[in-house]
Amino acid sequence: MSSTLSFAIHARLFQLLLTSLDFWKMSTHFFNTSLVNHTKFKELQKDLGLFASELVQLSNTRWACQVNSIKALLNNISAVLATLEATNTPIAKGILSKLSKPKTVYMLIMFSQLLGITEGLHRYLQGERLDMGKAVEYKMSVVDTLSKLRTEAATEEIFEKAMDICGSYNIQIPQGARHKQKRLEGFVLESSCGATPNLTSSAEFRYEIFFPCLDRMLQELADRFSGAGQKIMEGIQACNPSSSTFLSEGALKPIVAHYHVMIKPEELVVAKNFMKRKMEKEDICDITTAFHLLDEDMFPTLKVIFRIALTIPVSSCSCERSFSALRHLHMWLRRTMGQERLNDLAILSIEKEYLDNVDPENVIDRFAKLKPRRYNLMLLQ
């Protein structure tokens, strides 16, 4: 559920990002696969006094990489433009023409701000320990932050930043209407020919680019937290001690009805008084702490509800990360690898956090003592 939500938040924005910045994969391929281009880029980066860093490729699966990719380009845009201008190849000229457009620069600034706001929520939704009660609060905070950007002042700030970058690198705003293409009479067209109007003012950028992206983003957030799911999440929120609806009978009704749990009003009243006394003595800030305080014999129904609230947010992100790990392990150079070895390497890669705590010396000593060997693997003290 959490990974689907995270996908929906960024899916529409990512489609627009790829449509407008379709040169991005070509750009990273241009700089990262060619040793000559990469060396020239690093030299210009050093000459311009920029911090040594690499361009990050856009990922179709790891959504958090999007904001990192955009920030990497913005931080190194002077070195990127200088490298492209110094390279006399058709690919470099094509990338330079795409990058040297006010619309592209504006969208880089816009996406950097929008994706930067949702970056924290995205990381939290993909975490292994996810509290859906807190996720709802974080989501509302993100929605409030995004809604406040739908003003002329906020869009004007983005426009001014984009124009400052354009002025620094002599990127001119096109004047007048775009030259219309010839009408294709006698042909059936199933899509547009790619002709888009020139944007010349802050208002045009605001209404043609920023507001549609922002509105779609807010709509996706609202759709994913609506209907039956919204009611269930309100019930989960009622299990959160920091919520104003904590142990409210009305807020718990949707989750109780959905999972066919019979709650006793008397048990709920006693639980409220019990938790109130506990909160006066200690800090109870999350659902897990409250769950451990409830005794199963004293509060059997509430124990079941809290267990459901803690079970629902289980994420599939760990499973999805295993697929990403296999792409790096089972590459074309290792096609003849057996299944057993692949499983062992995958476990080492996926569970790297635990592997870092293992002492290599102990592993070597254990391997050396498994059976008698022709060569002595133990070093003499």
Mean pLDDT of 182-211: 68
Tokens of 301: 């129904």
pLDDT, residue 181, reads 53
Claim to verify: residue 261 and residue 122 sit in the same structural domain: no
pLDDT, residue 352, reads 81
Claim to verify: residue 39 and residue 126 sit in the same structural domain: yes
Claim to verify: residue 209 and residue 253 sit in the same structural domain: no
pLDDT above 70 (res 81): yes
pLDDT, residue 3, reads 43
Residues 6+ apart with CB under 8 A from 95: 23, 26, 27, 30, 84
Question: Which residues form the domain of 270?
Answer: 228-311
pLDDT above 80 (res 156): yes
Tokens of 132: 């859906």
Claim to verify: residue 211 and residue 348 sit in the same structural domain: no
Does any domain span residue 6? no
Residues 6+ apart with CB under 8 A from 8: 220, 223, 224
Mean pLDDT of 7-18: 47
pLDDT, residue 250, reads 84
pLDDT above 80 (res 360): yes
pLDDT, residue 2, reads 43
Claim to verify: residue 332 and residue 256 sit in the same structural domain: no
Structure-model confidence comparison of residues 84 and 129, the more confident one: 84
pLDDT, residue 197, reads 63
Claim to verify: residue 331 and residue 300 sit in the same structural domain: no
Reported as a single tens digit per residue, the pLDDT across 105-117 is 888 898 888 888 8
Whole-number average pLDDT of the chain:
78
With a pLDDT cut of 90, the percent of the chain lying above it is 2
Report the C-alpha gap between 89 and 29 in whole angstroms. Answer: 14
Exposed/middle/buried for 253, CB within 10 Å: 0-12, 13-18, 19+? middle
Positive/negative CA dihedral, 82, 87, 92, 93: positive
Number of domains in the chain: 3
pLDDT above 50 (res 11): no
Are 83 and 44 in contact by the 8 Å Cβ rule? The answer is: yes
pLDDT above 80 (res 99): yes
Claim to verify: residue 262 and residue 206 sit in the same structural domain: no
Report the C-alpha gap between 358 and 354 in whole angstroms. Answer: 7
Structure-model confidence comparison of residues 186 and 150, the more confident one: 150
Reported as a single tens digit per residue, the pLDDT across 42-73 is 888 888 888 888 887 766 655 566 778 888 88
C-alpha 107: how far from chain center: 18
Does any domain span residue 177? no
pLDDT above 70 (res 93): yes
With a pLDDT cut of 70, the percent of the chain lying above it is 77
Which of 270, 290, 311 is where one domain is finished? 311
pLDDT, residue 145, reads 92
Claim to verify: residue 137 and residue 27 sit in the same structural domain: yes
Does any domain span residue 237? yes
Residue 362 confidence class, pLDDT cut points 50, 70, 90: confident
pLDDT above 50 (res 4): no
Task: Render 88-145 in DSSP notation, one character per residue.
Answer: -SHHHHHHHHHHSSHHHHHHHHHHHHHHHHHHHHHHHHTSSS--HHHHHHHHHHHHHH
Claim to verify: residue 256 and residue 237 sit in the same structural domain: yes
